[in-house]
Amino acid sequence: MNKLKILNDPIYGFITIPNSLIFDLIEHKYFQRLRRITQMGMSYLVYPGAHHTRFHHAIGCMHLMQKAINVLRFKGVSISDDEEIALNIAILLHDIGHGPFSHAMEHSIVNGISHEQISLLFMEKLNDEFNGSLTLAISIFKGEYHRNFMCQLISSQLDMDRADYLKRDSFYTGVAEGNINSERLITMLSVVDDELVVENKGIYSVEKFLVARRLMYWQVYLHKTSVVAEQLLIRVLKRAKELSHNNVDLLASRALSYFLKTEINATNFDTLTLETFSKLDDYDIISAMKEWQYHDDFVLRNLCEMILNRDLLKIKVKQKKIKKSELKAKEIEMMAAFNISEAEADYFVFKGEITNQAYQQNGQQIKILHKSGKIEDIVKASDQLNLKALSKPVTKYYICYPKAKL
């Protein structure tokens, strides 16, 4: 069977699957599940085109990794065939641990375990199945490999993950401000003292990348409608878990029922849990909500109806913290209007905050390589005054409450 397939991607054109091991990983049920997990959570309620999946994104990241390897080899960086395969596998599987609706439900289905940790569990399970051929990829994914620049290609402030998702999310949402030139960024990469650097003629591409990241967060990822929709989804799961623990029967798929009835955290996330998690995707949540919108429980019924019919809570975003008195007044109003308890009203009246930081100067910095051989942090190397501002976190505060009637 020919395993060196070619995929047609709307962003990059034709993408080649480089070897039969990667083909077999893509074919595996754990990876195929990513076709059923939306890349951008509830953002499609704002941007109707944002229905692309984690599968699209992972394949795109692998394509960019192939480009990066070719560029670095061309510049004299030695990368062995084994390292090349490992880099491609590590980036291909970096998001395999995402739950339904990606980040929206990361801490709702399981507690105290991130999608990166679940990705690692999947990779270790696949490593057993594939006779240890993922060992090097796992070492790079964990950031333990002795060649630091390889770990940076997987996870840093200018990694292949960000290089793909900004361009892809910009394309599918139609938000042109996020469209970065990822191919030029990759062409400008080099390695000095085992650190990833960008040649100084790529400085403007990096500036554009950081500005695009900031704009995409405010305009797309932290759009107020996406924020309120994700909060409602989190509350649907919270309420469903609460009812399940009180022995209320809820119609749901086997996989979802398991997570509703069992309190899962980092200590009891065993092989059975991993296998059950691998059967969970967006469809389980959507089909459950289609049933739960008819449930007797006031909270569960209304939350599900809101999401399914896109009749969401009102959300106000402010520069200053929300006063407790403002929240309390809305809560009392809600309790009186619907004759419900304070605990029930809390599901519909709540506050929170959103933070945007395009660049972290104290993290793994993006380093610019000058022709003289001097290496500088992008903020110092750039004459774009905005970059210093981009490295400071900006926090906004929001309050959510029902419109006139539910």
pTM of the entire predicted model: 0.94
Output the six-digit token pair for 212.
Answer: 């695009």
Low-confidence residues of the chain, pLDDT below 50?
none
Report pLDDT for 405: 61
State how far the Cα of 7 lies from the Cα of 394, in Å rounded to an integer: 40
Cβ neighbors of 237 (< 8 A, separation 6 or more) are 105, 108, 109, 260, 285
399 close to 315: Cβ distance less than 8 angstroms? yes
Helix 20-27 × helix 81-92 angle, to 10°: 20
Report pLDDT for 362: 76
State how far the Cα of 401 lies from the Cα of 119, in Å rounded to an integer: 35
State how far the Cα of 348 lies from the Cα of 145, in Å rounded to an integer: 47
Output the six-digit token pair for 350.
Answer: 């709540």
User: What 3-state class would DSSP assign to 145?
Assistant: coil
Cβ neighbors of 277 (< 8 A, separation 6 or more) are 99, 109, 110, 118, 255, 259
The β-bridge relationship of strands 195-199 and 367-369 is parallel
Q: Three-class SS string for 175-213?
A: CHHHCCCHHHHHHCEEEECCEEEEEHHHHHHHHHHHHHH
Residue 126: closest CA among 249, 274, 246: 274
Report pLDDT for 140: 98
Q: What share of the chain is helix, strand, coil (3-state, %, to 5)?
A: 55, 10, 35
The torsion angles phi and psi of 396, rounded to 5 degrees, stand at -120, 160
Report pLDDT for 406: 56
H/E segment holding residue 138: helix 135-141
Q: Amino acid letter at 292? A: W
How many C-beta atoms surround the C-beta of residue 344 within 10 A?
A: 17
129 close to 31: Cβ distance less than 8 angstroms? no
User: What 3-state class would DSSP assign to 53?
Assistant: strand
The torsion angles phi and psi of 111, rounded to 5 degrees, stand at -110, 140
Which segments of 278-381 does DSSP mark as H helices, in order?
282-292, 298-308, 324-338, 342-345, 378-381
